[in-house]
Amino acid sequence: MNEVMKAITDRYTCRDFSPESLSDADVQALMTAALAAPSAMNKMPWQVIVVTDKGLIDEMDAAAMQEISGWDDKTAHNRMKERGGKIFYNAPCMIFITNDGSEYSALDGGIVTQNIALAAHSLGLGSVICGMARIPLNGAKGADFQKRLQIPEGHTFGMSICVGKANSGKAPHEHDTGKITYIKG
């Protein structure tokens, strides 16, 4: 199996990060992968925001947990409590991908996110693609967090990815071949 296919099939969602910071070289490699992502008509309707300020990550994490504790459906809150009470799993680095809301911006941001996830795995790092980072951005402290993240005017949250050294590993999810339909000629 070639290296790309191996990275795709071996990557797993990490929910147990070491507090150790990423090296500048690792962050730069992840950004190279992000910038290599294709986009519709090469418009690159996204902005990538790298956060290594652990204090800010922890503040956003606490705000997210506070928000979900008030939800009527306690499923998400209970699940996160079972996993240590941290939505961002103590990750030392969060990467936010914002978009300008144009026609293909969500898809293009998804491609950026996947590039980062695969690059992280290839570097021996763990990652978790995290849509729940939207929660603190839309919550009571959302305007403050958006300002501190320097989200560009006209942009909104698209996706985030937590990255760091994994404390533990796990097997990737099993492939459900029932999700594939073949139409042959």
Tell me: the pLDDT tens digits for 129-177?
999 999 999 999 999 999 999 999 999 999 999 999 999 888 777 889 8
- Measuring CA to CA, how many Å separate 119 from each of 3, 170, 172? 11, 18, 16
The enclosing H or E element of 154 equals none
Output the pTM of the full model: 0.92
Tell me: the pLDDT tens digits for 29-41?
999 999 999 999 9
Locate the domains of the chain by residue range. 3-166
Superfamily of domain 3-166: NADH Oxidase (3.40.109.10)
Q: What is the distance in angstroms between the CA of the first residue and the CA of the last residue of the chain? A: 28
* Residue 54 DSSP code: H
User: Could you tell me where the beta strands, DSSP code E, fall in the chain?
Assistant: 46-51, 93-99, 126-129, 156-164
- Nearest CA-CA partner of 50 in 67, 26, 16, 66: 26
Q: Would you state the pLDDT for residue 53? A: 97
